Chains A and B, each alone.
Chain A
């Protein structure tokens, strides 16, 4: 199957991952326990794009705003819309990343790296300090990717196991409860 067809046919994996990640982060008040790493911070913030349907008949819903509860997005989930893009804060130890994740292609957009002691703008005076700055930024990018990969690995292991049906029941209950609470 070529890539374009594969993206279209398997986009549900990314969409379900984002929905599950949102539910999972709120289940324990903003953190998810990873098997080998322990608790990591996962918080959804200020930007989400939801989609319903496919092709020309698809509907899109964009939700944005500082300090937002993503009220419309939560209601959107109850109407069968699925998250296509979400701004997520993930963190482990002293590091905190903000990443806009896309569901269909798993691109990383507008990635904000954690501040570090040696952070600079990448224009060091000599080749060695330049290389040091580049390597530091690369290692931070890779740390952020690794965190997302570990979350995705956890999702895939649940999604392909017998635990998924229980997880789905809890996820659906969370969708209705969180939309209900905001409607009051």
Chain B
């Protein structure tokens, strides 16, 4: 649920920094450079990049544009191969038991156990399909505001990094303090700094 349908949850940002004059060419170039790269047929563990909001498989923006009126609309897609700790524990224990039996020993050294665990983890990661997550965003160019359709702290941190890397612009989260500074005149903004929490009872 996000930009396109149903109920939506979002976090608001201000976009800080200067945009170049050839803005749309710049966006085209940078979005292409940071578009999502599929890892289904590789053994990579992680991939992050931009896709179309209309179709998470469209990272060339062949069928839908990231431009809508005075807005840039994009989805941040993250694919990650994950192995649950319970699965890792089970297969590591199984492999340790096999090696103990093969070598006819009671115990394995700590180093050997660590090596087994790392090898099993790498094998399991390779076998597991990448899990996708997609988050929409909408960047209003006239007000330099951005809506990111998630409240997840982890997703927000990833967005801030990817956005900075792609456009060389910073995102400032619109918490009440920042919003108050944005919405009020200079005289009111100066008084804000002196405010102390009020007792409501």
Contacts and interface: CB of A to CB of B under 8 A. Distances in A.
A34 B141 CA distance: 27
A131 B176 contact: no
Interface stretch (B2-10, B28-36, B37-45): B2-10
Nearest to A131: B68
Given A111-B10, A134-B3, A135-B68, A142 B140 contact: yes
Given A13-B176, A13-B195, A156-B192, A107 B9 contact: yes
B71 to A, nearest CB: 6
Greatest chain A CB density within 10 A among B64, B65, B195 is at: B195
B133 interface: no
A106 B7 contact: no
A77 B201 contact: yes
A103 B191 CA distance: 20
A62 B69 CA distance: 41
B201 A160 contact: no
Contact of B175 (A10, A133, A137, A176): A10
Greatest chain B CB density within 10 A among A112, A122, A130, A134 is at: A134
A180 interface: no
A95 B150 CA distance: 24
B184 interface: yes
B12 interface: yes
B188 A157 contact: yes
Contacts, number: 135
A16 interface: yes
Contacts of B166: none
Contacts of A28: none
Given A13-B180, A16-B197, A19-B200, A137 B4 contact: yes
Contacts of B177: 6, 10, 13
A171 interface: yes
Contacts of B173: 3, 105
Interface string B180-201: 1001100010011001011111
B5 A156 contact: no
Nearest to B69: A135
Please classify the interface of chain A as helix (H, G, I), strand (E, B), loop, or mixed, using the class held by over half of its residues. Answer: helix
B11 interface: yes
B195 A111 contact: no
Nearest to B143: A142
Contact of B201 (A80, A105, A156, A157): A80
Contact of B151 (A10, A77, A109, A172): A109
Interface of B: 3-5, 7-12, 53-54, 63-65, 68-69, 71, 73, 138, 140, 147, 151, 173-177, 179-180, 183-184, 188, 191-192, 195, 197-201
Interface of A: 3, 6-7, 10-14, 16-17, 19, 77-80, 82, 102-113, 121-123, 127, 130-131, 133-135, 137-138, 141-142, 145, 149, 152-153, 156-157, 159-160, 164, 168, 171-172, 175-176
13 contacts: A3-B173, A10-B175, A13-B180, A16-B198, A80-B201, A82-B200, A105-B176, A106-B12, A106-B175, A108-B10, A108-B11, A112-B7, A141-B147
